[in-house]
Chains A and B, each alone.
Chain A
Amino acid sequence: MSTYTDIEHEKALSETLYWENKQLTDKKAFFAYAQYQYALKDYIEAVAWYKKAADEQYIPAIYQLAYCMRYSLGISSDCKIEERLFQTVLAHDDGGYETAVKYRLGMSYTYGFGTQIDEVKGLAYFNQAKEEQPQAIYELGLYYKSGKGGVKADKKTAETYFREAYDRHCEQAIFELFAMFEGNFEDFAYVREIKEAYSFKLGQLMRVAELRPCKEYFTRLADLYQQGYPGDTNENLGKFARLAQKYLQKAAGALV
């Protein structure tokens, strides 16, 4: 584990240089560019490009657009539209053996995106996708954490999945590992990793809030400050609480 933030930083820089010199001419390019923005947490920009690709009936983009709507990432939630979009994905997502398709199907059956929840099916799809999709490994961790889809709750197996997912650069996995941890912060096996992951996320949210000052981004920044830094001192927790208030006020004053 670790060096994750440096690797992500280098990757994003090289992608930035790539996209600066790239013409966006087709739906696959629209989608790839949107994914790059999504990874940078600029969801508003990502959604704009998912929409362009979705307009051309590109299924991965339709799924991502619906997903962003469901979780209000760069776009407001609209149950009816997102349900229709998810159903379109299910009806046409026929990429055969592609693991990305398996992952999307896993998500659909696990969370009921455009269909009835069927956790057994969801689990099966994540198992088929896990070799190539770190997010699928993360989802498997969630299955074992809570015990669903026919598997027994198993903390150790869940932790193993979360560790593997984080090693393969799935950011949420380290936060999930930390959430599962019980005990003194100093005894957590990945103190440095969780601190770095939090700081990295903070830096990303700060960047987009400066780049595109708006209610959504200020609110997200305020939430992270409010959540506080894992294992932090009272001095810092107090400071972060003040910063959370500051960004909430900015969010309240933002027009959009």
Chain B
Amino acid sequence: MDGLSTIIETIVQEEVMQHKESFRYREAIIGYASAQDPLYAKLSDILKTKQLHPNEILPTAKTVVVYFIPYSLSIIQKIQGKNVIVQEWSDNYTITNALLERIGCRLRAKLQDRGIRAEHEPPTCNFDPIELTTKWSHKASAVIAGIGTFGLNHLIITPSGTAGRLGSIIIDADIPPTQRPETSYCLYYKTGKCKVCVEKCPTGALTETTFDRFRCNAYLDGKNIHDLQQGCAMCSSGPCAAKGFC
């Protein structure tokens, strides 16, 4: 179904590059995972929280399409070297949520026109507010779909870096899976050096061995309480912000 992947990639890239504020983004990275990839059956154990199998969202699921939208270098440069959030970064979060939702809806509609069923989870706010876990991890799907690898920062690092956002859609058509990278894109996992993300984390939530999501979330609750600003960005603004280490 080469034609199908072309349709999907055209829609995603069009939405990103023809966005009215396209200066915010670089070219999207798109990957495909088989809904029957054995990793999906193991995810709950790996992530230590119940994860939905693609078939639980769409019983006839065959492929999971994942797209990563990297932030532009100009946006990344605004946050790099700083210890404070900048408005542009915060705006990117909000604007990209809308973009991801639009991409999901447009893909779904286009595929349905071709008789293909599709389901997608929202880009955010699909988590349990008490346990701060989600039943559908865009990040895990990104790894399975070969888009990137997990970094020490507990985010996905792609060839275009870690500063960006992920979306995914589950469809009941076959597309050949993307080959997964053989080594990590994280400089620390590759060389044992770097740890910039750990050093920059203002709460100590991120360490060499753990990530305490409760510490991170509570800090953001306090930090972003007034200015309608989103995020913190310290862990995604290190050397891997704009490129992965292949």
Binds B, one of A62-70, A114-122, A204-212: A204-212
Binds B, one of A9-17, A71-79, A131-139: A9-17
- Which among A3, A210, A240 has the greatest number of chain B C-beta atoms within 10 A? A210
Beta-carbon nearest neighbor of A17 in chain B: B228
Q: In the complex, which of the residues A197, A200, A206 contacts B202, with contact meaning CB atoms closer than 8 Å? A: A206
Binds A, one of B41-49, B89-97, B159-167, B214-222: B214-222
A40 engages B212 (CB within 8 Å)? no
A9 vs B172: C-alpha distance in the bound complex, in angstroms? 40
How many residues belonging to A are interface residues under a CB distance threshold of 8 Å? 34
B226 engages A5 (CB within 8 Å)? no
How many residues belonging to B are interface residues under a CB distance threshold of 8 Å? 27
Binds A, one of B19-27, B29-37, B203-211: B203-211
Taking CB atoms, residues of chain B closer than 8 Å to A229 are: 204, 215
Binds B, one of A82-90, A157-165, A230-238: A230-238
A91 vs B221: C-alpha distance in the bound complex, in angstroms? 40
Q: Which of B109-133 contact A (CB under 8 A)?
A: 129-130
A200 vs B221: C-alpha distance in the bound complex, in angstroms? 6
B218 engages A210 (CB within 8 Å)? no
Distance from B181 Cβ to chain A, minimum over Cβ atoms (Å): 29
A240 vs B218: C-alpha distance in the bound complex, in angstroms? 17
Beta-carbon nearest neighbor of A19 in chain B: B226
B221 engages A9 (CB within 8 Å)? yes
A235-B207, A236-B207 given; A206·B217 CB < 8 A: no
A8 vs B130: C-alpha distance in the bound complex, in angstroms? 14
A13 engages B225 (CB within 8 Å)? yes
Distance from A113 Cβ to chain B, minimum over Cβ atoms (Å): 29
- Which among B84, B205, B223 has the greatest number of chain A C-beta atoms within 10 A? B223
Distance from B131 Cβ to chain A, minimum over Cβ atoms (Å): 10
B15 within 8 A of partner (CB) = no
A2-B130, A229-B204, A239-B199 given; A12·B225 CB < 8 A: yes
Distance from A199 Cβ to chain B, minimum over Cβ atoms (Å): 4
B219 engages A200 (CB within 8 Å)? yes
Beta-carbon nearest neighbor of B132 in chain A: A6
A195 within 8 A of partner (CB) = yes
A207 engages B130 (CB within 8 Å)? no
Distance from A52 Cβ to chain B, minimum over Cβ atoms (Å): 20
B72 within 8 A of partner (CB) = no
List 6 A-B pairs, minimum CB-CB distance, nearest first: A203-B222, A203-B223, A199-B218, A196-B218, A9-B221, A236-B204
Q: Measuring CB to CB, which residues of chain A are less than 8 angstroms from any residue of chain B? A: 2-3, 5-6, 8-9, 12-13, 16, 40, 192, 195-207, 210-211, 229, 232-233, 235-236, 239-240, 243
Q: List 14 A-B contacts (CB under 8 A).
A: A6-B217, A6-B221, A9-B221, A16-B228, A196-B217, A200-B218, A200-B221, A202-B219, A203-B219, A203-B220, A203-B223, A206-B223, A207-B222, A233-B204
